[in-house]
Structures are given as C-alpha cells and as structure tokens.
Amino acid sequence: MSVSDESLAAVLDDVARRLRAGESPRLNDVVASHPEHASDLQELWGTLLLAEDLASNPVELDSDSFVLPAGSGAADLPRVVGDYELIEELGRGGMGIVYLARQISLNRAVAVKMILRGELASPADVARFRAEAESAARLEHPNIVAIYDVGEDEGRPYFSMQHVPGTTLGRKLLDGPLPPREAAALLVPVCRAIAHAHRRGILHRDLKPSNVLIDPHGCPFVTDFGLAKRLRGDEPASAAGQHPTITRSGDILGTPGYIAPEQAAGDRGEITPATDVYSLGAILYAAITGRAPFQSASPVDTLLMVLEQDPPPPRLLNPQADVDLELIALKALQKPADLRYASADALADDLEAYLNHESISARSSHFSQILSRAFRPTHHAAILRHWGRLWMLHALVLLILCLVTNVVQLRGVTSRWPYALLWTVGLGTWAAVFWNLRRRSGPVTFVERQIAHVWAASMACSTMLFAVEAALGLPVLALSPVLPLIAGGVFVVKAGILSGEFYIPAAALFATSLPMALWPQYGLTLFGIVSALTFFVPGLKFHREQNRRTRASSGG
C-alpha cells in the first residue's frame, strides 16, 4: 500500500470512528481538512456512511419481514391506540412496525404503522416517519395505499392506512419469475401510480418488490413512502421555522439491489423522477428473472456493482424471458438517466404496447439516438478526473520523444539501436513514473488496470516494429506510419470503456498514418503533434473539472 493509500485509509478510519461515536461529520469539512483526498472522499463517502449504518443496524434489507432484537417495538396484543384496536403484527422494517387493526368508530379493518424505536427514536427518525405519512397522504390513486389518519400514542407517532390483504411481489417472486405477460400487466398500474406521485411532486426513492402489495384479485398497490422526497422544496417546517433535516449529506437511501446509480453515488448523484424509473425497471427485471439486477454477498459490494457494472441480460438468467420485455427492463436500467424512459408513464406506455402486441419504443433505433449513445460517457468515465494533469504531462513526453526521434533521423542515423533504446527505455521509464504518480492520487480502479494493459500492449507493439523492420529487411522507421494506427486503436478501446468522445482523437490518429507515409522525413514530428494534442486537450478538460469539484467540495 502506498503512502497516499495509507493516508486515505487513516482518514476513512477516523470518519468511521466518529460515526460510531454518534457524530455526524460533514463531507465538506472532511475534504477541507484533507484536500489531497478530495476526489476519493467524494467517491467513497456515501458507501462509508452506508457501511457504518449497516454495521450499527444489522437488518436484512431485501426481506419482507425484518428480524430485530427483542423489545424493539413489539406490543402486547390486542391493545388500543387511539381509535384503533391492534390485532396482530403484519410486518416490520427499518423504521416502522405495521399492525392489522380494527378502526373502532367505523368498525373496519385497517393497517396501523407505528415508529419502531419508540422513545429511542431520534429526531431524524421521527421526521422521516412523519414525512412518510405526509407524502403518502398527498396522493390519491387507486394503486397507492391510502392514508386515513395520523396520530400519536404516548409520544409515539403512528398513522393508519388502507389494509391490503394478500401478499407482496417480493414474497410472490420467492416462487420464481412471473410469466412475461403477467409481469408486464402487474407493472403497468405500479408505473401509473408512481407517475401520479411524480406529478404531485413526490419521489418514492425506495421502490422494490416488497413495497408492492398484491391483493387477492391480483391488483398491485404501492406502499412505504418512508424515503419519499418532495420535488418542490415544500417540506413542512419545524417548530423553529426551519425544514427538518431528514437526510445527511452523502446518505445513500434505498435498498442496494434496486437503487439507481445516482442514489448509490451519494453526494455525486442528482435524484430525479428518472431515479424511480430505474427502480421500476429493477422491479420489472426481478419479475422476469426472479432476482434483483445486482446482488452480492454484502450491500456495499452490491452498491459497487450498481455503480460500475451492467446487469446480466434477463434471458441469461431466465431463458423463457420475453425479448421485448427484456429490452424494456434494460432501457429503464440505463445508468445515464437521460437514456431511461422519460417518465414512469412512458415506461407504462411501452409495457401496454407490449401487452397489445404493438411496437415498443425500446426497440427504437433512430440514427440520432445511436449517435448520441455512441459518443456519451460511460459510467466508468468518473475515473478520468484522476488523469487530467497526468495526460498533460504524457502529451509533453510524447511530443519530446517524437521530436528527438525525428532529429536523430534527419541527422542520418540508420542504426536501429539508438531508436530502439530511445523508445523502449524512454517509454518504459515514463510508464513507471506515470503510474506511480497516479497511485499517489488514490487507489487504482479495476477499469484503470484494464486501460493500463491496453497501453502496455500498444507500447510493446510500437517497440516490436523495430524487430519487424529488421526481419523484413526494411530501413529503420519504415513502419513508423503504423504508430498512429496502434495509438488510434487504443483510443477506440478508451471510447468503448470510458467515453465516446475518444472516437474523435482515434479518427485523427488514423488519418495521420497516410501523411506520415507520404512525407516520412517529417512523419514522427507530425505524429508527435497529433498524439500530444489527443492527450493534452482532454487532459486539460479533466484537470479543470477536478479543480472545480475540489473548490466546490471545500466551499471555495
């Protein structure tokens, strides 16, 4: 482990210790104290908060019935709470416990949800619990569980809601994936319900199969708005006249297997209606495969998969999955939010088109859409912020190496050894310096290791040209026009892994090979200028972006 890695680990350990001690350290304050780790702290902050939260509250996130310590909110039944006689416990989750109850005044069956921790609940827990009731109460839709009443019993808030007998989609999927048309028909009203919530200015943020109730007639109902967020900033004010703080900066909220990448990114992600569209796509994926798009041994590993990987194609997990339904699910699960369905209604429209045997928009292949997708950054593009200054240095090294080689060539040196020595030792030394400098900026990611292997292969190809020239009896540097073809190939790989913008420098490098062949006496200078620009221009862009992020994090 490098000195930089050890320093970052020490900072993270200190933050974890403070979290376990009950403190609430702020990301901006930590970054201001350790600006050398700004980018890594921004990337790891949300994951660290989630890991510590899971360590202190070990609940099973994806189950329908959470197992909690004795005395954590259970009540002697039956008992009366306000106008309600609690009859039996229906289930419990991370925040509340739900009872089947009889509303005494109307003599009807209802569900009553009470805050789980009782007198031990923090102000944030109470605020979040009340926010659930208030958010759901604003919504009137036939497929959203209705809120009837909000009250308090011995200082413990509760609310009553529509009782939906039956099961949940989560329990239903324990028996395996649903038939394709049943899955689509079930998701249509769920999508319409969420679209209604969005029009009312409310995001759910915790959509998953266990939050979809299914009555005996097969009708679905969306429930559990405990993590709901209002889009218009009209949260109810506290007694002090301020909005209650329900989430901390950098919190990751939701269930790891079903949250969107922007939720998994904590502070770096912008939560919008597209976030719920992603979760709807994840529910559809689970309905046709029997499992979440991402699942791993631990929630943190699952979050990293959400951020860095694409889900397995549904038909790989369930060969009976319908092709069109697979396309619909994968479109909703796109990591760039603007590539998903524009709204939950648009997702429902495509599901209805599928049910009516009509053409679905997920099959759309307009040239403009293909071009847009080809040139956009991938979810791996975040690593580029580490490369800005290094790529500008790399541009300088390449230019110097090519100019020196051209000068030696113009002086009439025909022996291969000076050139071979210059390129093998020169490039090898710089590669070692480059990655050493990169490691000082933080841990090297898996994707960067892939790029390093491609770069190493291109260096090997470049130096092997001298041996090929000798074997063919060609003059030294006769094969130098091949250099931009090798370099262009590396940029095509970067375009596929990182960002489509690298197709442009790839094309520029490919085009350089022909003039190098036509004017060999100046070919290396031309290659040096073009290749230096292909690194310097994006490097300057990444460097400026990183500086802006650092200033924003430190409040500067």
Question: Kind and range of the H or E element at 504?
Answer: helix 503-518
327 and 211 in a common domain:
yes
193 and 44 in a common domain:
no
95: closest CA among 61, 50, 47, 51?
A: 61
| Lookup: tokens for 234 | 């009209």
pLDDT at 136 over 90: no
In a domain, 65, yes or no: no
Max mean pLDDT among 51-55, 217-221, 262-266 falls in 217-221
pLDDT of residue 528: 95
Percentages of the chain per state (helix, strand, coil), in multiples of 5: 60, 10, 30
Mean pLDDT of all residues belonging to the chain: 82
In a domain, 62, yes or no: no
Question: Residue 157's domain is classified under what CATH number?
Answer: 3.30.200.20
Whether 532 contacts 397, CB under 8 Å? no
Over residues 479-523, the pLDDT tens digits come to: 999 999 999 999 999 998 888 889 999 999 999 999 999 999 999
Specify the number of domains making up the chain: 4
Pairwise CA distance, residues 494 & 499, whole Å:
7
In a domain, 27, yes or no: yes
320 and 189 in a common domain:
yes
pLDDT at 40 over 80: no
In a domain, 370, yes or no: no
Whether 409 contacts 521, CB under 8 Å? yes
**Active-site residues: which are they?**
206
256 and 126 in a common domain:
no
Tell which of 162, 193, 216 closes a domain: 162
Confidence band (pLDDT; 50, 70, 90) for 234? very low
Tell which of 301, 336, 364 closes a domain: 364
42 and 29 in a common domain:
yes
306 and 293 in a common domain:
yes
Tell which of 142, 162, 182 closes a domain: 162
503 and 547 in a common domain:
yes
Max mean pLDDT among 27-41, 115-129, 145-159 falls in 145-159
In a domain, 16, yes or no: yes
328 and 184 in a common domain:
yes
In a domain, 145, yes or no: yes
In a domain, 146, yes or no: yes
131 and 86 in a common domain:
yes
In a domain, 29, yes or no: yes
Which range, of 140-149, 227-236, 294-303, 360-369, averages the lowest pLDDT? 227-236
506 and 533 in a common domain:
yes
Over residues 353-392, the pLDDT tens digits come to: 999 999 898 876 555 555 666 677 776 777 777 788 899 9
Pairwise CA distance, residues 58 & 366, whole Å:
48
419 and 338 in a common domain:
no
186 and 158 in a common domain:
no
Over residues 291-347, the pLDDT tens digits come to: 999 988 777 778 878 887 889 999 999 999 999 999 999 999 998 888 899 999 999
Confidence band (pLDDT; 50, 70, 90) for 284? very high
Question: Residue 352's domain is classified under what CATH number?
Answer: 1.10.510.10
Structural domain boundaries, residue 24: 3-56
